[in-house]
Amino acid sequence: MEDILAKQLNPQFREEVAELLKGYDFANCLACGMCSVGCPYADLVENHNPRIFLRKVLLGMKEEVYADPYIWYCNMCELCTIECPMNVNVSALVRALRGTWDKDKIPGYLQTIVKEHIASGNQMNVSQEDYEDTLEWIEEELQVELGDANYKIPLNKKGAKYFYGFNARDIKYYPNELQTTLKLFYVAGIDYTISTKRWDATNAALFTGQTDDFLAISMPLWQEVAALECEELIVTECGHAFRSMKWGQRTYWSGKPFPIRHIIELLNELVKEDKIKLDPEAITEVVTYHDPCNTARKEGVYAAPRELLKSFVKNFVDMNPNGRMNYCCGAGGGGMAMPEYNEVRKAKGRRKVEQVVATGAEIVIVPCHNCMDQFNDLNKWYPEKARSQNMHICDLIEKALIIPKKSVNKPVFCINRRAGTPLH
């Protein structure tokens, strides 16, 4: 280990970081090492030790801190903070330091996603014409599937109870995912709306730490919820979208507050109220559930998914650890958008694969788009171990969904002008 020379330390750096971290006291560190013990990857990946990184900051080793790959290796999952006896939030520290980075030097294509989101209103840079065309296509598909020629997606409905915010990937790559969700909404008969103005709840600036970009992306969506006078914002199966909306509103929104819930919380409520009926015999496979860090550890949503799954899944087996203590899949903190760190992401993923294999699960519920991409990559990287089918919870619910017959509606048949081809 190299000597640390006092003359090379920057005594002002600690104060600079403290100014960035208003509301977070990182100086309580006892150097006990519990953060490194709690980090699932400190022993798997070189330069992935939160204790060492934090000591560099506290000692004023500014050059070493900014040269340390830990800033971008860290998944900001907050498991280290759970273990810390002084509740030092390393994730907040990492995000704050990332926020001082030159935007043109941010790794991967994170900043490209941010720029496109600000310019187009969504992270996939989908044009307004393509967005509305895809909604129209989904609407036509559902008219046929539901046997309801009068079915319409409720767009820009003022005063709706629920405003649904989702992921732009559901428009560009996976319209079938959005179709499934809207099918569940239809069966439940809920009062909701989708905006044609602002609809993408994701925000990659959550990972870059650039506050100006974060607000440029999320503020218009909060404003749209307020403008449509909706009672509640429901966020799709996307951990960082949910975190961006919830944490961002708590931190930056000065308008009239409105509740924000994860779609799983809503679906669990609808099942308990018998508005969605599920066949308890439909799912015979062994099922386990992955807790996205932004959903479970950071925002406390881990009981509702299990209550929902256990209500209709015959063979549910939890990972160990799970819930608030579950391991990050290895793709958090923007990891999916930094391909230069793919080997690091792969190494971290092995621990998640071992978790899944230990459950004997045939289906893994992965309620997050970033996590889903990571799980699918793990199936390719570790084919000898990772063989489970990865699904969103809405897709699993659809397999068990009991659709009540509606005598007033007769099945309709129409020719889909786009032949069911999703937008790419």
pLDDT, one tens digit per residue, over 293-307 is 999 999 999 999 999
Domain 111-271, CATH number (from 3.30.750, 1.10.1740, 3.30.70, 3.40.50): 3.40.50
Burial class (CB in 10 A: 0-12, 13-18, 19+), 216: middle
The stretches of 109-201 forming alpha helices (DSSP H) are 110-120, 128-146, 169-172, 175-188
Strand partners, 364: 288, 390
Among the listed residues 204, 195, 240, the one whose alpha carbon sits nearest the alpha carbon of residue 222? 195
- Average of per-residue pLDDT across 34-55: 94
**22 contact partners, CB below 8 Å, separation of at least 6:** none
Rounded to the nearest integer, the mean pLDDT of the chain is 93
* CATH fold for domain 6-100: Fumarate Reductase Iron-sulfur Protein; Chain B, domain 2 (1.10.1060)
CATH class, range 277-402: alpha beta
Residues of the chain with CATH 1.10.1060.10: 6-100
* pLDDT band at 370; cut points 50, 70, 90: very high
pTM of the model: 0.93
Q: What pLDDT is attached to residue 4?
A: 63
Q: What percentage of the chain has pLDDT greater than the value 90?
A: 88
Q: What pLDDT is attached to residue 2?
A: 63
Among the listed residues 236, 219, 239, the one whose alpha carbon sits nearest the alpha carbon of residue 334? 239
Residue 275 in contact with residue 308, Cβ under 8 Å? no
- Average of per-residue pLDDT across 25-50: 91
* pLDDT band at 6; cut points 50, 70, 90: low
The stretches of 311-400 forming alpha helices (DSSP H) are 342-359, 369-381, 393-400
Residues of the chain with CATH 3.40.50: 111-271, 277-402
Q: What pLDDT is attached to residue 11?
A: 85
Q: What pLDDT is attached to residue 212?
A: 98
Q: What is the pLDDT of residues 391-423, one digit of tens each?
A: 999 999 999 999 987 633 443 333 333 334 433
- Average of per-residue pLDDT across 182-193: 98
- Average of per-residue pLDDT across 243-259: 97
Query: Beta 389-391 vs 162-165: how paired, if at all?
Result: unpaired
Q: What is the pLDDT of residues 59-70, one digit of tens each?
A: 999 999 999 999
